[in-house]
Amino acid sequence: MNTEQVRVRFAPSPTGDFHVGGARTALFNYLFAHHHSGKFILRIEDTDQKRFNPDAMGWLTNGLSYLGLDWDEGPGKGGEFGPYVQSERLNIYNEHIQILLDKGFAYRCFCTPERLEQVREEHKANKVDIGYDRHCRNLSNDESIKRAEAGEAFTVRIKLPLDGNTTVTDAIRGDIVFDYGRLQDSVLIKADGIPTYHFANVVDDHLMKISHIMRGDEWVNSLPLHMYLYQCFGWEPPILAHLPIILNPSGKGKMSKRAQRAPDGSEYPVFVRQFEGAGYLSDALVNFMALLGWSFDDKTEEMTRDELIQRFSLDRISSSPAAWNYEKLNAMNGDYLRQLPNEDLVSRIEPFLTSAGFDYTQDRLLKLIPLVKERMTTLSDSVNQLDIFLVEDLKPYDVTLLLPKKTTAGETASLLKAVHPALEISEFTQEKIEEMLRRLVSELDVKAGQLFQPIRVAVCGRKAAPPLFETLEALGKTWSLNRIGNAITLLES
């Protein structure tokens, strides 16, 4: 184990939306850094100009701050190893590629994309494994320089050993052996002068004194190339840990980067901002993601951020992929939500109520929140839970909801008519309401449910609702009686 300061990085490329797969990688890096009182560095790998997306940076930083994954060094934060955006480090890569060229560890390749494509196809047809035929590998130094100076376009490729093998060590998977004979002379610098990921990442990780690399599983195959680069430079490589990927809920295939549709047509969130927009608490999301590929013991599931930091360790990361489970996330989010103090919960639902166009005061919400708290799984549920309290007119509902089994509209209407005078009380409180309605039940000689259900539907417009007496009090006498009146009209029409 490296005894130097722990320095880890999250190094996304700004090509698209901030996906939960990336978020989980960022989280593990963050937890590891904080566990070791080290540094969590954000580095932007924008070496692909074609796929650059100008919105990506905002999605990323907003997402990280929603998740509470603050970085110690990186864009907007600075740090002594900057710049932290790769497109601003081109001179550094130029210097370093020159070292490799001078030492003969890399060579210029003048092959055109067309020729490469053709070679690849031929090789494919002949079932040859390797795409590139190393056509330019043995060009003389003189010719190479001459052609470059003449302005001919070129890439720079690594000159990998032609045979033998190499053993690389992964902190999660152990030793992995690769045959050099099956590897390609990958491109290090593209024809536009910009490095590929492989080259930039090695140079930057070394220069930024990264102690541990925790990244997605999809990089294990490029391990021998990266390790060989460290060797060429004579640098000591960081400790590597390849994280298991996140699978779709079905367990089939990598977690999609396209918005998924549920069987009922609704959309599953897959991007961080979609989870935020759907009203997931970041603490719950973080807790849930921490458990995807990592565990503390055989029973501990809910952990605060500090506990996560305190308990996180590399050796409890699993090597097998994990499927994303929305039900479990929902259950966890509901738990977190219920544990929130009412004041806190109120301030978190406000943005959702505002964008739904509701009028409210904080005091009002504070009174209402206990009624709906245990019926919510996400913050956005507050909208369709609280609408009946915040909007005077009920949405139209099916009249049959008003009718308990085996009762007619006429019977129910007359029951509701009896409710009206019973609730003409000056003190419109839960206790008084209950007293009056229970008395009414025995006077009318009906079962409690026979009376309560129609009232509930009359005032809520639906069968599933918070407890009746509290609901009536929260609604107030005027709204309650008006709605009961409306129900009677509905029954008699």
Partner RNA sequence: GGCCCGUUCGUCUAGUGGUUAGGACUCCAGGUUUUCAUCCUGGCAACAGGAGUUCGAUUCUCCUACGGGCUACCA
Please report how close the Cβ of residue 251 comes to RNA at its closest, in angstroms: 5
179 near RNA, judged by CB under 7 A? yes
C-alpha–C-alpha distance, residues 208 and 43, integer Å: 10
Active site residue 257: yes
Question: Which CA distances in Å does 45 have to 23, 126, 228, 378?
Answer: 16, 36, 21, 34
Q: Given the structure tokens 């060590």, which residue do they identify?
A: 169
Site for RNA in 147-176 (CB under 7 A): 153, 155, 173-174, 176
14, two tokens: 């700004």
Q: Give the residue, chosen from 3, 126, 320, 400, that forms a contact with RNA under the rule CB under 7 A.
A: 320
Calculate the CA dihedral of residues 277, 281, 287, 291 and round it to 10 degrees: -30
| Smallest separation (angstroms) from RNA to the CB of 13 | 4
Binders of RNA in range 373-432 (CB under 7 A): 374-375
- Which one of 322, 349, 386, 488 is in contact with RNA (CB under 7 A)? 322
Say which of 209, 257, 328, 367 is annotated catalytic: 257
Considering only residues 35 to 74 of the shown chain, the ones binding RNA according to CB under 7 A are: 45, 47-48, 50-51
CB of 458 to RNA, least distance (A): 12
Q: Residue 476 corresponds to which amino acid?
A: G
In the range 201-240, which residues lie near RNA by CB under 7 A?
Answer: 217-222
Strands 246-247 and 322-323: parallel
Stretch that binds RNA, among 65-73, 95-103, 324-332, 390-398 (CB under 7 A): 324-332
Nearer to RNA, 153 or 239 (CB): 153
Q: What's the min distance (Å) between Cβ of 349 and RNA?
A: 16
Considering beta carbons, is residue 218 or 343 the nearer one to RNA? Answer: 218
**Whole-Å CA distances, 327 to 230, 281, 333, 445:** 44, 15, 10, 44
d(CA 63, CA 66): 5
Q: Which of residues 438-457 bind RNA (CB under 7 A)?
A: 448-449, 452-453, 456
- Nearest approach, Cβ of residue 3 and RNA (Å): 26
The site that binds RNA (CB under 7 A) totals a number of residues, namely 88
Site string for RNA, 241-260 (x = CB under 7 A): ---xx-x---xxxx------
Nearest distance, CB of residue 83 and RNA, angstroms: 16
Residues annotated catalytic, as ranges: 257
